[in-house]
Amino acid sequence: MSKDLFAKYDVAAPRYTSYPTVPYWSGAAFPPSDWLQHVQNAFSADRQISLYIHLPFCESLCTYCGCNKHITRNHAVEHPYIETVLREWRMYLAALSGKPVLRELHLGGGTPTFFHPDNLRYLLENILRDVEVPDNHDFGFEAHPWSTTDDHLHTLYDLGFRRISIGVQDFDEDLMKLVNRRQTVESVERCTERARAIGYESVNYDLIFGLPKQTLAHIREDARHVARLRPDRIAFYSYAHVPWLKKSQCAYSEADLPTGAAKRRLYEAGRRWFEADGYAEIGMDHFALPHDSLFKALRDGTLHRNFMGYTPYKTSLMIGLGASAIGDTWDAFAQNEKTIADYERVVNAGTLPVFRGHRLNGEDQRQRQHILNLMTRFETGWSSEEADDEILAAALARLEPLMADGLVERRPFLVRITPEGRNFLRNICMAFDAHYWRRQPEGKLFSQAV
């Protein structure tokens, strides 16, 4: 792969966990009553819902972290937070005509395993009481290996969880100390083995490439641990450096960050090693073993991408509960108040805590589908009616330089990403991002594409 292409395409680019991307949402003028109307319409399709619950607390600050979290050692925060989430949930329940079928449940953070298992049980029993749980449900949670106890694993298993996503980042303990993360190889091993012994069916590892001072030798070692412990899935994230948003990322020197072609080499080496061990690359930065549902979804064409990354299928309605959580009805997005204080204040005043959102018009929905197709199938097509659409024509014109570089191929009514082009998926999706090209950002919004 040419170094020049990495230099050429190493621009700031969104990760497209949503389209339009959050900075291009129409903004604050999105009354909760309008959002509820979208929720009700989406619910009426088949009553199936996905639920994301944001559990934002962490005991200590990992300096690389780009997520929405609140650092505290005071566990008295758990109870009022859970009561607020349940209050928010009851507002949704009151608006839905019928019992929701809970197809997908994801606990994200922060660190869900910050919470005492009894508190997680209380939260989840109160939610599960009012829903139907289908046999093919998919419940998963993010686990910090250092704080995940047997009690957490048993409690969540008893409540129907079969998937665990372990935050590993990198196995090297010295590298983790540099980013203030307390973790050992033994803690990851223990968490993996205990989860499997209890009956969890899918273990995911979150790994990051591009961390400060991370080298090929670290990735080699990570791949060795992967080969030994055999997680069913791997999320191999590109380190997102956004110090203008996350001040803790100023704790290390930018000179220590692998960038451009050097950073990409870390990914390519990881990919080679994972593939040699039987993993298949899924979309952008994910890998799975052939028995895993993510791999099957890729094969069956049902793979979807949402705010949590890749998932095996899509429900018409995704409800986000908790501070900063995002909901999605395909034709609208809504995000909750970001700080815990604002979130608790608004919910406890009896109002849905939506502070911004976006209604997708027909053009947004078409562009969203193109970007989703590229992210999940590495190609997107269009009908003969859409062929005359100006927005599509503009996207295809923007792809011309990428076609000349051999990253994308044009066929009648279709564009397809070449194997080389997969390294530039974010750049290729940007061609379809009509909002971005109408108004390019003045300040820094996105991390680098490479």
Ligand X SMILES: C[S@@+](CC[C@H](N)C(=O)[O-])C[C@H]1O[C@@H](n2cnc3c(N)ncnc32)[C@H](O)[C@@H]1O
Residues that bind ligand X (CB under 6 A): 58, 62, 64-67, 108-109, 111, 142, 144, 167, 169, 206, 208, 237, 239-240
Q: Which is nearer to ligand X, 208 or 417 (CB)?
A: 208
Structure tokens at 112: 């869900």
Q: Whose Cβ is closer to ligand X: residue 206's or residue 364's? A: 206
User: Residue 87's Cα: distance from chain center in Å?
Assistant: 25
CB of 419 to ligand X, least distance (A): 24
Nearest residue to the partner ligand X, using Cβ: 167
In degrees and rounded to multiples of 5, residue 352 shows phi and psi of -65, 135
In this complex, which beta carbon is closest to ligand X, that of residue 142 or of residue 172?
A: 142
Which lies closer to ligand X via its Cβ, residue 142 or residue 364? Answer: 142
CA distance 229 to 221: 12
Q: Is residue 189 a contact partner of residue 203, using CB atoms and an 8 Å limit?
A: no
> Taking the complex as a whole, how short is the minimal distance between the CB of residue 278 and ligand X, in angstroms?
22
Minimum distance from residue 345 beta carbon to ligand X (Å): 24
- Least separation, in Å, of the C-beta of 234 and ligand X? 11
Q: Which is nearer to ligand X, 69 or 370 (CB)?
A: 69
CA distance 105 to 92: 15
Residue number, 248 or 418, with CB nearest to ligand X: 248
How far is the C-alpha of 270 from the C-alpha of 178, rounded, in Å? 21
Report in angstroms how near the CB of residue 145 gets to ligand X at its nearest.
7
CA–CA dist 235, 218 (Å, integer): 16
Q: How far is the CB of 66 from ligand X (least distance, A)?
A: 3
User: Could you count the other beta carbons within 10 Å of the beta carbon of residue 413?
Assistant: 12
Q: Count of CB atoms within 10 A of residue 106's CB?
A: 25
CB 159, min distance to ligand X, A: 19
**Nearest-approach distance from CB 361 to ligand X, in angstroms:** 31
Q: How many helices (H) and strands (E) does the chain have?
A: 15, 19
- Burial readout 7-38 (b: 16 or more C-beta within 10 A, e: otherwise): eebbeebbbbebbbbeebbeeeebebeebbeb
55, containing H or E segment: strand 48-55
Token duo for residue 55: 């559990």
For residues 62 and 175, which CB has a smaller minimum distance to ligand X in the complex?
62
Residue 322 preceded by cis peptide, ω within 30:
no
Q: Cβ 114 to ligand X, closest distance in Å?
A: 8
Whichever of 66 and 160 has its CB closer to ligand X, that residue is 66
Nearer to ligand X, 146 or 437 (CB): 146
The answer to whether 375 and 305 have CB atoms below 8 angstroms apart is yes
- Asked whether 74 and 340 are in contact (CB, 8 A), the reply is no
Read off the tokens for 312.
Answer: 């095996």
- Say how far apart CA 177 and CA 186 lie, in whole Å: 15
Find out whether 357 and 25 touch, Cβ atoms under 8 Å. Answer: yes
Shortest spacing between CB 62 and ligand X, in angstroms: 6
Nearer to ligand X, 147 or 380 (CB): 147
Cα 71 to Cα 60: distance, rounded to the nearest angstrom: 6
